[in-house]
Structure 1
Amino acid sequence: MRRTSALRAAVAALMLTVGLGGAHSGTASAAPAADPPTVSSGLLDAMQQDLGLTKNQAEKRLRAEKTAARVENDARRISGSSYGGAWFEATTGRLVVALTDRNDEADVRALGADTRLVRHSAAALDGTKSRLDALAAPVGVAGWHVDPRSNSVVVTVVRAARTEPAVRAFVAQARTKGPVTVVETANAPRTYAAGTVGGDPYYTGNVRCSIGFSVHGGFVTAGHCGRAGAAVRGWDGSAMGTFQGSSFPGDDYAYVSIHSGWWTVPVVLGWGTVPDRLVRGSAEAPVGASICRSGSTTRWHCGTVLAKNETVNYSQGAVHQMTKTSVCAEGGDSGGSFISGDQAQGVTSGGWGNCSSGGETWFQPVNEILGRYGLTLHTA
């Protein structure tokens, strides 16, 4: 979508608010940011549309999720080796923390969380997943991730391929590596790059993708959108920048530096559907939290975080440490922003389905990208 005069006015107003010549900078942080003065009506509208919430329910959920993110960090710290993972329970509005040691329950509950006793620690499950990551997976295996709810590593296989010898052999081998649960999906994951069409934020070669988040000096996006050294054209077709670093498969992230004449702002675009969102940090949302995505094809949609640290097995190869969501996406949304409240979460990688019938989408966490390239997130 072409930048409208309204968008230019919004950007200009933002620049005046934060100071001419550049906004206040902020580094990637694991600590939750201070409460914003108001909650965007666009965010509330999207949560009502995509999550089936009322306005009051959406506001209450955002407050509860902010508390859950803080409690999760504290619970992980005080439970130590007993920590078995955590997730946000939307029905109660509380964080649930899995523990292997009953003696830690009282301390964690004192933080305001519910607890569940489990057999395997998060460290043990991460070890199982690492052993699976060392295996070569056939395309009939969609991916695998640590699931704190089931206290296991969940391996997802494509239903139509579940009886194929290579898939069955992978599952059998996976079960020898630790606690594994197998589930089926009707769809194989794919990336969301698309052929060139007019009116979207950037192009490289004949591929159209979406900007993720502004960093000082450029922006982050998906690695499958372009290789290091590739030239980038902006929404208007003019020279915009260059891929300075890119990784795919294995990872799915990239850093694009921008040329003079372009500037960065701490904004996630609403594409005229909802008001633009300011980015104030990158505190990680827990499993179960609500999350929204902005992309150049399907604009703005919301859902929930389904899983973290998932290995996604694309046809091009496996990508590790991904986060799975119930948010839909389509071709051209690749690289676009995932945000929870005002906190940057990651860049769109791929998924299955579409925004008419629904689907699931994975993103590469933004803090990993910032650390990999030594970048500073542009925050308001």
Structure 2
Amino acid sequence: MPKRKAAIAVGGVAALGAAALLLPNANASQGKDQAQGAAGSARTLKAKDASDLAAQLQKALGDAIAGSYYDSAKQQLVVNVVSGDNNVIVQAKKAGAVVRKVDNSTAELKAAAQTLKTRATIPGTSWAIDPRTDKVVVTADSTVTGAKWDRLQSTVQTLGSGMATLRKSAGTFKTFVSGGDAIFAQVQGGGVRCSLGFNVTASDGSPAFLTAGHCGVAAKDWSDSQNGQPIATVDQAKFPGNDFSLVKYNDPNTQAPSEVNVGNGQTVQITQAADATVGETVFRMGSTTGLHNGQVTGLDATVNFQSETNPGGVDTVNGLIQTNVCAEAGDSGGSLFTQDGSAVGLTSGGSGDCTNGGETFFQPVTAALQATGATLGNGGAGGSGGNGGNGGNGAGDQSGSAAPSASAGDQSGAGAGAGDQSGAGAGDQSGAGDQSGAGAAPSASAGDQSGNGSADDGSSLTSSR
């Protein structure tokens, strides 16, 4: 059988702004940090270097650090330290970070999140620790009303105004079916479409790719064209709880490049997996909406999706990366990466669309790699494991990203597959139906994807399947 090159392309739809920012230095190294001035002065850092420093300090100082974030304007790492711990302050400053004294410790913030889990696991809600405000930010979508809203509001109030904040989202939480390089599957009741995230090498040496878990739960066999013959089979799929799938190519000679196709014949080489850092700029590629960029706004986020397989039930996904990057149906599974070629996440779900904006959640790639034993490309090293994603070995050929989307929106019958997405952040997905239109999008060339797949009511927090 001739060798087949897995072309993972991502549509270039409305991606000019992001492409202009990304492409000039797409394959450039972040470079060395600028020299540190006098001992203890803050260092000027690239985002990747700031992430590495944050991981080192977290490992050395543990819970004495109450979170950290990247100040992109000043190119500095800001580390939160509870007032009074002078030894920690000295060490953090010596390492080159900016130290900020805060009131809430890591233990207190985690305890608040646990209280929310115990008392307010309600479909259509999410929460994440925001190191910039030193609080737990709780979000409720448009479906959280009446007694559910009263219960959530009461729980947040018991935590105290200095510990948590509550806000409303105009949309609804759901998974995004559609995305990156489109991949397709047939299920009872219709078709499903997702985006390919990153090409990888499985632990047994076979070529494979990562995509969203709710996609892998929805269907076992995947094709690179609508109604085409399957070219890959799901090996592992986790959803809810986590949201990742390892899908192996059926042809062991498949050449799966470690790159993301960002449209117009341009690609970004993926050389490693990395943990996200709050404040850093990231890029998302998906077959429905193409290339878009934004910032990481939270880590270790929890999203409660309305279960599609259990009426009234909840599918909860933990340890996610929260961003303000837009996404729509069909973008699920698509790749989240940085300008220096680091694989960061797989599109899970969110709310909003790429016209009005929104928020999107991503499964950390480092966690997916560690759990599956896969490696990126030729085994590039993974991240440090922060955020729930422990340094897995790299994550391979990310080339396109694919989020399951209901092919032709039929999804409603995707049944277990699509439904499961809810846990991935797709509560609303009822039937994954929102994916409507996603199926039509051609998978191969990035350009083709443009415009494919309907936006799935982006207004909701959907996991871009």
Structure 1 residues 227, 285: closer, same or farther in 2, change over 3 A? closer
Secondary structure in 1 matching 2:217: coil
Aligned to 2:331: 333
TM-score by length of 2: 0.64
Mean Cα deviation higher: 185-194 or 326-335: 185-194
TM-score by length of 1: 0.78
Give the counterpart of 1:167 among 146, 149, 154.
Answer: 149
Deviation at 1:183, TM superposition (A): 2.2
Structure 1 residues 121, 187: closer, same or farther in 2, change over 3 A? same
Tell me which amino acid in the other structure corresponds to 2:335. Answer: S
Aligned to 2:259: 267
Give the counterpart of 2:140 among 130, 143, 157.
Answer: 157
C-alpha separation in 2, matches of 1:110 and 1:344: 29
The reply to whether residue 219 of structure 1 matches residue 209 of structure 2 is yes
- The structure, 1 or 2, with the larger RCO (C-alpha pairs under 8 Å, 6+ apart) is 2
Secondary structure in 1 matching 2:330: coil
Secondary structure in 1 matching 2:113: helix
Aligned to 1:73: 55
Give the counterpart of 1:207 among 182, 186, 192.
Answer: 192
The reply to whether residue 82 of structure 1 matches residue 72 of structure 2 is no
C-alpha separation in 1, matches of 2:16 and 2:57: 29
Aligned to 1:138: 122
Deviation at 1:49, TM superposition (A): 5.5
C-alpha separation in 2, matches of 1:225 and 1:54: 32
Give the counterpart of 1:46 among 18, 22, 37.
Answer: 18
C-alpha separation in 2, matches of 1:149 and 1:98: 9
Aligned to 1:20: none
Mean Cα deviation higher: 219-228 or 88-97: 219-228
Alpha carbons 1:99, 1:115 under 8 Å: kept: yes
Alpha carbons 2:69, 2:277 under 8 Å: kept: yes
Structure 1 residues 154, 113: closer, same or farther in 2, change over 3 A? same
Alpha carbons 1:322, 1:362 under 8 Å: kept: yes
Alpha carbons 1:326, 1:359 under 8 Å: kept: yes
Tell me which amino acid in the other structure corresponds to 2:192. Answer: V
Alpha carbons 1:144, 1:155 under 8 Å: kept: yes
Mean Cα deviation higher: 332-341 or 170-179: 170-179
Deviation at 1:70, TM superposition (A): 2.3
Aligned to 1:367: 366
The reply to whether residue 188 of structure 1 matches residue 172 of structure 2 is yes
Deviation at 1:163, TM superposition (A): 5.4
Aligned to 1:40: none
Alpha carbons 1:228, 1:244 under 8 Å: kept: no
Secondary structure in 1 matching 2:171: coil
Deviation at 1:267, TM superposition (A): 0.9
C-alpha separation in 1, matches of 2:150 and 2:21: 40
C-alpha separation in 1, matches of 2:373 and 2:108: 30
Secondary structure in 2 matching 1:270: strand
Matched-pair identity in %:
33
Tell me which amino acid in the other structure corresponds to 2:222. Answer: V
Deviation at 1:356, TM superposition (A): 2.4
Secondary structure in 2 matching 1:170: helix
Secondary structure in 2 matching 1:227: helix
Q: CA RMSD in A?
A: 3.3
Give the counterpart of 2:73 among 79, 85, 91.
Answer: 91
Structure 1 residues 314, 162: closer, same or farther in 2, change over 3 A? closer
Secondary structure in 1 matching 2:136: strand
Aligned to 1:305: 296
Alpha carbons 2:259, 2:270 under 8 Å: kept: yes
Alpha carbons 1:304, 1:325 under 8 Å: kept: yes
C-alpha separation in 2, matches of 1:74 and 1:122: 16
C-alpha separation in 2, matches of 1:281 and 1:44: 25
Alpha carbons 1:285, 1:345 under 8 Å: kept: yes
Secondary structure in 2 matching 1:328: coil
Tell me which amino acid in the other structure corresponds to 2:234. Answer: F
Structure 1 residues 234, 161: closer, same or farther in 2, change over 3 A? closer
Deviation at 1:286, TM superposition (A): 0.9
Structure 1 residues 358, 177: closer, same or farther in 2, change over 3 A? closer
The number of aligned residues is: 333
Structure 1 residues 9, 312: closer, same or farther in 2, change over 3 A? closer
Secondary structure in 1 matching 2:254: coil
C-alpha separation in 2, matches of 1:204 and 1:79: 47
Tell me which amino acid in the other structure corresponds to 2:64. Answer: S
Deviation at 1:75, TM superposition (A): 2.1
Secondary structure in 1 matching 2:77: strand
C-alpha separation in 1, matches of 2:164 and 2:291: 35
Deviation at 1:247, TM superposition (A): 2.0
C-alpha separation in 1, matches of 2:46 and 2:106: 23
The reply to whether residue 109 of structure 1 matches residue 93 of structure 2 is yes
Structure 1 residues 10, 330: closer, same or farther in 2, change over 3 A? closer
